[in-house]
């Protein structure tokens, strides 16, 4: 009896999560109050995939360390939740089947739907690689690719590397870092050199706490606890911003990976020289605002650059800890323009 009722209860729980704005007025007001808090945007994105309330600063840090998958309900979220039913395989497959059937009546959640298909196929095939290939072709057949091409590609690139990896976990971490660097090249982004170590650690920590956050989300009396956990997680991720001096363009990350793979010391020396030199270049002075880098006006002549300072012919700009540049015009007697 329990095995039949519990999946239905979980489907109801998911429905409440997706349509929380239709609950009572008290719950709605409570949600609005929580949305003004710092961690609720991250919390909301982790559960529903809606990133509109996540600060640009936080998204910038997560992009640098390859953590954006935490903001999209996917295999990591599903695996984290299903760990609670590890010793109840029949109950687990009933939950997967219930969620899979529900996903066809809900728009979005493409990555989560692919993982539900995989879990369902693997229950019968008992072969991860065969289930992976079956998921790939079945997802294409039902139009999963046409609905979200980029999400489809990201899923099978990173997930495929995990499924078909036969080396050590460290080798897998390096492979994932390489794919993140390639994505950074395609989207003209940067990647932090420590992402190869910190990304798996943060993802593993998320796997442990996500089930509790999911349970708390639709319950007004417990949502404050989930928001508190999200606050702590956001604070930790923003601490990684202090490591932004290790951010490099994707092409440099790929070059470093090749140098390490070939074990050529002279390539490492060349990479080190390029990296140290680029730290003082204005394009490496990152800001977390509407644009990725500080825009350099064409009519401004650069006189001198430093790690946190740029001197133009008519103004001096400094990089502040808040993530923005503050510029001040230079009087004509100190080298500024004369009118």
pTM, entire model: 0.64
The predicted pLDDT at position 285 comes to 42
pLDDT in tens, the chain (339 residues): 544 444 444 444 444 554 444 444 444 444 444 444 445 788 888 888 888 888 888 988 998 898 888 888 888 888 888 888 888 888 888 988 888 888 888 777 788 888 899 988 988 888 888 998 999 898 888 888 877 777 788 888 888 888 888 778 888 888 888 888 888 887 788 889 889 889 889 988 888 888 888 888 888 888 888 889 888 989 999 999 898 888 888 888 887 777 777 666 555 555 555 554 554 444 444 433 333 444 444 344 566 666 667 777 667 777 665 556 677 776 544 444 443
Can you list the alpha helix ranges (DSSP code H) found in the chain?
2-18, 25-35, 40-48, 56-64, 75-82, 89-103, 110-125, 128-141, 144-147, 149-163, 169-186, 195-216, 220-239, 250-262, 265-278
The DSSP letter of residue 311 is E
Pairwise CA distance, residues 189 & 184, whole Å: 5
Q: What count of other Cβ atoms lies within 10 Å of the Cβ of residue 310?
A: 21
Q: Which of 126, 121, 132, 69 is nearest to 96 (CA)?
A: 121
Report whether 328 contacts 315 (CB < 8 A).
yes
* 155 contacts: CB under 8 Å, gap ≥ 6: 74, 75, 111, 114
Cα torsion angle, 283, 284, 287, 289, sign? positive
The predicted pLDDT at position 175 comes to 82
Domain boundaries, the chain: 2-152+189-246, 291-339
Report whether 178 contacts 171 (CB < 8 A).
no
The predicted pLDDT at position 273 comes to 54
Report whether 42 contacts 233 (CB < 8 A).
yes
User: How long, in residues, is the chain?
Assistant: 339
Q: Which of 153, 156, 199, 154 is nearest to 174 (CA)?
A: 199
Pairwise CA distance, residues 122 & 14, whole Å: 23
């Amino acid at each position: 009896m329990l095995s039949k009722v519990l999946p239905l209860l979980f489907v109801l729980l998911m429905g409440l999560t997706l349509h929380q704005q239709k609950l009572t007025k008290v719950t709605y007001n409570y949600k609005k109050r929580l949305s003004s808090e710092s961690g609720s945007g991250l919390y909301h994105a982790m559960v529903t995939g809606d990133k509109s309330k996540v600060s640009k600063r936080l998204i910038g840090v997560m992009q640098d360390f390859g953590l954006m998958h935490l903001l999209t309900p996917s295999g990591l979220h599903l695996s984290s939740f299903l760990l609670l039913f590890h010793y109840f395989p029949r109950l687990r497959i009933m939950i997967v089947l219930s969620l899979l059937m529900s996903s066809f009546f809900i728009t979005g959640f493409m990555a989560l739907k692919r993982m539900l298909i995989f879990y369902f196929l693997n229950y019968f095939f008992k072969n991860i690689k065969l289930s992976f290939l079956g998921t790939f072709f079945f997802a294409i057949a039902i139009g999963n690719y046409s609905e979200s091409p980029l999400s489809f590609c990201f899923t099978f690139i990173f997930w495929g590397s995990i499924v078909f990896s036969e080396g050590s976990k460290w080798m897998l971490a390096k492979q994932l870092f390489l794919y993140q660097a390639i994505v950074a090249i395609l989207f003209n982004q940067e990647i932090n050199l420590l992402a190869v170590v910190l990304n798996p650690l943060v993802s593993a920590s998320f796997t442990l706490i996500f089930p509790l956050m999911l349970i708390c989300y639709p319950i007004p009396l417990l949502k404050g606890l989930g928001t508190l956990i999200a606050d702590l997680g956001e604070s930790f991720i923003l601490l990684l911003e202090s490591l932004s001096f290790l951010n490099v363009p994707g092409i440099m990350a790929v070059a470093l990976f090749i140098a390490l793979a070939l074990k050529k010391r002279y390539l490492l020396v060349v990479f080190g020289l390029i990296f140290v030199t680029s730290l003082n270049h204005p394009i490496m002075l990152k800001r977390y605002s509407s644009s990725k880098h500080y825009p350099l006006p064409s009519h401004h002549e650069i006189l001198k650059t430093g790690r946190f300072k740029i001197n133009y012919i008519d103004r001096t700009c400094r990089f502040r800890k808040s993530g923005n540049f503050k510029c001040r015009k230079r009087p004509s007697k100190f080298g500024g323009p004369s009118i």
